[in-house]
Amino acid sequence: MNKKILRLAIPNVISNISIPLLGLVDVGLMGHLGSQTYIGAIAIGSMIFNILFWAFGFLRMGSSGFTAQAYGRRNFPEAVMVLARSLTLAVICGIAIILLQKPIAIVTFKLVGASTAVENIVSQYYYIRVYAAPATIALMAIIGWLIGMQNARTPMAIAIFVNGINILYSLFFVKVMGMKAEGIALASLLAQYTALLFAVWIVYRHYGKIFGSFTFAQLKDLKPFRNFLAVNKDIFIRTILLILTISYFTVRSAQLGETVLAANTLLYQFLIFFSYFMDGFAFAAESLVGRYYGGNDKILIRKTVKRLFVWGGGICIAFTLIFLLFGKIILNVLTDNIETLATANHYLFWIYLIPLASFTAFLWDGIYIGCTASVAMRNSMIISVVLLFFPLYFLVFNGMGNNGLWLAFIIFLASRGLLLQWQAGRQIYRKT
């Protein structure tokens, strides 16, 4: 079982690591432009697109869960149709974002309430990157489908390609062409469409034979779409609430001042790096648990879950030590702004709690997605956000400033994992 987990997890970890490296490069490029305004602008710009693109993360998760179950039943024609439905929805959603870009910008800029200087930079970034929406969402669907097909190497190749070429584009536009935030946005736009072409080519090369079962008649059948959307509706709500919490964290940071916003942006990079590492094992959970769930194998599901948590616990300990030993060094790499560094170092201790507070939620997310147990995921997120994060922050921790914000956020991370664990007996084991 360990070999099966690592065969899927390691390529996913490698591909995921390339994503925060891209974020670190972008933040690093902006952090050395002489003003912390650029760091805050990239944080808010990224937040806006997290809202837009993460909201459609249900396409990746739904594709992964449904495909893994079809794979477990050896029903490859159905697996092909899952991809077709996901890509159809991805294109529709991407085009809708482009058409609605103006009202989306008006609403989000008003909600953020950042300074005029930050908002001007964010606007330049936003109106370029928004045109990447169809490609970005389509890539999510393709990667989810590949994970469900028990294939971790191809998503690794796609992720390394898209993030590698994005880094090169960013360096070229900022360092060579002298562009600033608009260069980072243009790099993302070009990288997403280049990667989509690469992904389509590589998927067809590996799975061209089974695509012969595809028919437009099946695609026109609305019943499978309704089933797909019924499960993904709950994942969508869960994802929106997650984005709402993370976005509020950024918005509140901006309201506490540009220095706090810049500092929290740097500190948040630690969570991003850890989360993408843990997601490698969560993706392995989606693949394996979904496969065994589709094959109705209770014994292998339990065995897989136990081994996943052994690996997750080890990763948690390792990252806690890395943050303790090298946290200040990493901050110095990200920026040379003295005021931002001083503030970030003042709040650095919160980062030490992130691995322990969050690793169980990452793993359970993957397990629940594999079993398409979306209602429980939705309900756990509702409790963590609506009944814990916001009430605790506004009623208890608000007077503590940035420390109160971080404390509420840590509690939010921990509660998700505990709630999913509490429901596992009914939602995962009894349904098989």
Residue 302: phi and psi, rounded to 5, are -60, -40
CA angle 343, 346, 351 (to 5 degrees): 110
Q: What is the DSSP string of 281-294?
A: HHHHHHHHHHHHHH
Average pLDDT of the segment spanning 100-106: 86
Q: What is the DSSP string of 359-421?
A: HHHHHHHHHHHHTT-HHHHHHHHHIIIIIIIHHHIIIIIGGGTHHHHHHHHHHHHHHHHHHHH
Average pLDDT of the segment spanning 50-63: 75
For 81, 273, 355, the CA distances from 351, given in Å and listed in that order, are 42, 12, 8
Name the residue among 354, 160, 353 with its Cα closest to residue 273.
354
More confident site: 21 or 239: 239
Average pLDDT of the segment spanning 282-311: 84
Residue 285, pLDDT above cutoff 80: yes
Which pLDDT tens digit goes with each residue over 422-432? 888 777 766 55
Average pLDDT of the segment spanning 35-42: 67
Residue 20, pLDDT above cutoff 60: no
Mean pLDDT check: name the lowest of 92-96, 155-159, 200-204, 208-212. 208-212
The separation between CA 403 and the C-alpha centre of its own chain, rounded to angstroms, equals 25
The tokens describing 286, both together, are: 């989606």
AA letter at 321: L
CA angle 236, 126, 165 (to 5 degrees): 85
* Contact criterion met (CB below 8 Å) for 114 and 40: yes
Residue 89, pLDDT above cutoff 60: yes
pTM comes to 0.74
AA letter at 115: S
Average pLDDT of the segment spanning 390-419: 92
Average pLDDT of the segment spanning 118-137: 84
Q: What is the dihedral of CA 20, 21, 23, 27, to 10 degrees?
A: 140
Helix (H, G, I), strand (E, B) or coil at 180: coil
The Cα–Cα gap between 134 and 405 comes to 34
* Contact criterion met (CB below 8 Å) for 197 and 24: no
Residue 92: phi and psi, rounded to 5, are -60, -45
In which residue are the tokens 């008649």 written? Answer: 217
Q: Band of the pLDDT at 188, cuts 50, 70, 90?
A: confident
Residue 131: phi and psi, rounded to 5, are -75, -5
The Cα–Cα gap between 45 and 47 comes to 5
pLDDT value for 371 = 82
Q: Band of the pLDDT at 290, cuts 50, 70, 90?
A: confident
The Cα–Cα gap between 380 and 391 comes to 16
Average pLDDT of the segment spanning 241-268: 86
More confident site: 46 or 146: 146
For 58, 119, 173, 268, the CA distances from 45, given in Å and listed in that order, are 22, 9, 17, 15
Average pLDDT of the segment spanning 263-292: 86
Residue 377, pLDDT above cutoff 70: yes
Burial class (CB in 10 A: 0-12, 13-18, 19+), 94: buried
pLDDT value for 325 = 93
The Cα–Cα gap between 18 and 165 comes to 11
Name the residue among 58, 15, 271, 287 with its Cα closest to residue 163.
15
Residue 135: phi and psi, rounded to 5, are -65, -45
AA letter at 290: G
Domain positions in the chain are: 2-429
